[in-house]
Amino acid sequence: MSNPSILILPGDGIGPEVMAEVRKIIGWFGDKRDIQFDVSEDLVGGSAYDAHGTPLHDDTMAKAQEVDAVLLGAVGGPKYDDLDFSVKPERGLLRLRKEMDLYSNLRPAQCFDALADFSSLKTDVVAGLDIMIVRELTSGVYFGEPRGIFEEGNERVGINTQRYTESEIERAARSAFELAMRRNKKLCSMEKANVMESGILWREVVTRVGAEYPEVELSHMYADNGAMQLVRWPKQFDVILTDNLFGDLLSDCAAMLTGSLGMLPSASLGAPMANGRPKALYEPVHGSAPDIAGQGKANPIACILSFAMALRYSFDQGAEADRLEKAVEKVLADGVRTADLLGEEGVTPVSTSEMGDAVIGALDASL
């Protein structure tokens, strides 16, 4: 039988820097655990635009459809700010999500003990935090029609449309309830049913799906209140289910509960493939961080933890995913810090690659 396949798309800015560390870790699992992958690499985002004039070449799209998992670094950057909207780096990522039909985006926010003091919130607010945001990823205002910039009288109008079908809400909700069943059986759905019809439908469908999961305690919250509650007392939540745009905002917000945006991984999952595993793309929640790109300062942990999610959700290697997550936890407990995590006086930051090496060291120690 052939090895499971991974397509690596490092992308732009710090994407290639953090992905280099994941490459080391993939190598470690091959050498030390005899878990081999067939790894190929390709371009996405600005780097693909530079090479091909498009942020995602059709051949890359086709490869992404065939592999067992895609790992993506980050896309975008100021160099591409003035490009036509249709070829902006971010369009490459959105095309991958849409054409792979990755409707369920899991964004776990976990506060490692070693970082509890470092969060911008009080220690007891975040210590022990472990929540999961499920963001619908293939619909909503990101993709709804009509959209565009149009002439209207003597001025222009910019239009995007929030649009959700019942089946789109239903499948995202189902994935969130399934996760809640495997966690603490608590799900809070966030929308703005007070001002948006799509929110009314969202609440109705989620409630209907919830009837199939009587063990899960379901609540609903307006998303603005949800944002406030997330920083007031985040431990009231277990699974949060929300739409594409609210999920984007709420997950960046949740990232700071863990200490840094450089800590938050994600898995974007679609329907099961022939092998029973979901179609999947794994990527850190952060972007290409142009302000620190090329300086060896980026925290690779979000990308490394995204690979841990791949081990768990795509490769049936839950125990090895635990091993990798524990290695990250140990490195942080040992006080190893990239610059984004520096709060303590007298601690010298490590570089991106030193952080990767430290995780490898902790993996070695786990054997």
Binding residues for Mg(2+): 224, 248, 252
CB nearer to ligand IPM: pick between 90 and 101? 90
Q: Which stretch in 106-114, 146-154, 165-173, 295-303 sits in contact with ligand NAD by CB under 6 A?
A: 295-303
End-to-end Cα, the chain, rounded Å: 27
Instruction: Answer yes or no whether residue 285 interacts with ligand IPM by CB under 6 A.
Output: yes
DSSP E strands, the chain: 5-11, 38-41, 69-74, 104-110, 130-136, 144-152, 155-161, 186-191, 217-222, 239-242, 267-272, 278-282
Q: How many residues bind ligand NAD (CB under 6 A)?
A: 22
Q: Is 190 left (phi over 0), alpha (psi -120 to 50) or beta?
A: beta
Binding site membership for substrate: which residues? 97, 107, 135, 224
Contacts to ligand IPM from residues 224-263, by CB under 6 A: 248
Nearest to 4 by CA among 366, 316, 351, 336: 316
At residue 347, φ and ψ (nearest 5 deg) are: -95, 130
The active-site residue, picked from 142, 164, 213, 313, is: 142
> What string of H, E and C letters represents the secondary structure of 112-137?
CHHHCCCCCCCHHHHCCCEEEEEEEC
According to DSSP, the residues that pair with 309 across neighbouring strands are: none
Instruction: Answer yes or no whether residue 93 interacts with ligand NAD by CB under 6 A.
Output: yes
Q: Is 142 a catalytic residue?
A: yes
Instruction: Answer yes or no whether residue 358 interacts with ligand NAD by CB under 6 A.
Output: no
Instruction: Answer yes or no whether residue 8 interacts with ligand IPM by CB under 6 A.
Output: no
The active-site residue, picked from 113, 117, 224, 364, is: 224
Q: How many CB atoms lie within 10 A of CB 278?
A: 20
Q: Is 130 a catalytic residue?
A: no
Instruction: Answer yes or no whether residue 309 interacts with ligand NAD by CB under 6 A.
Output: no
- Residue 257, classed as helix, strand or coil, is helix
Instruction: Answer yes or no whether residue 281 interacts with ligand IPM by CB under 6 A.
Output: no
At residue 129, φ and ψ (nearest 5 deg) are: -60, 135
- Residue 15, classed as helix, strand or coil, is helix
Binding string to Mn ion for residues 232 to 261, with x set by CB under 5 A, is what?
A: ----------------x-------------
What contacts 24+ positions apart, CB below 8 Å, involve 330-336?
A: 330/362, 330/365, 331/355, 331/358, 331/359, 331/361, 331/362, 332/112, 332/114, 332/115, 333/112, 333/113, 333/114, 334/358, 334/362, 335/114
Cβ atoms 6, 310 nearer than 8 A: yes
The one of ligand IPM, ligand NAD, Mn ion, none whose footprint includes residue 94, by CB under 5 to 8 A per kind, is ligand IPM
* Residue among 75, 134, 179, 193 that touches ligand NAD (CB under 6 A): 75
The active-site residue, picked from 252, 316, 322, 357, is: 252
As a whole number of angstroms, the distance between CA 140 and CA 224 comes to 17
CB nearer to ligand NAD: pick between 135 and 286? 286
* Residue among 9, 71, 93, 131 that touches ligand IPM (CB under 6 A): 93
Instruction: Answer yes or no whether residue 72 interacts with ligand IPM by CB under 6 A.
Output: no
* Residue among 57, 286, 330, 337 that touches ligand NAD (CB under 6 A): 286
As a whole number of angstroms, the distance between CA 312 and CA 33 comes to 15
Nearest to 35 by CA among 358, 323, 270, 362: 323
As measured in angstroms, the least distance from the Cβ of 197 to Mn ion is 25
As measured in angstroms, the least distance from the Cβ of 349 to ligand NAD is 10
Q: Is 282 a catalytic residue?
A: no
As a whole number of angstroms, the distance between CA 24 and CA 71 comes to 14
As measured in angstroms, the least distance from the Cβ of 26 to ligand NAD is 18
As measured in angstroms, the least distance from the Cβ of 331 to ligand IPM is 25
Q: Is 252 a catalytic residue?
A: yes
DSSP type of residue 149: E
CB nearer to Mn ion: pick between 12 and 248? 248
Residues that bind ligand IPM (CB under 6 A): 76, 90, 93-94, 248, 285, 287
Catalytic residues: 142, 192, 224, 248, 252
Residues that bind ligand NAD (CB under 6 A): 14, 18, 74-77, 90, 93, 261-262, 283, 286-292, 298-299, 302, 340
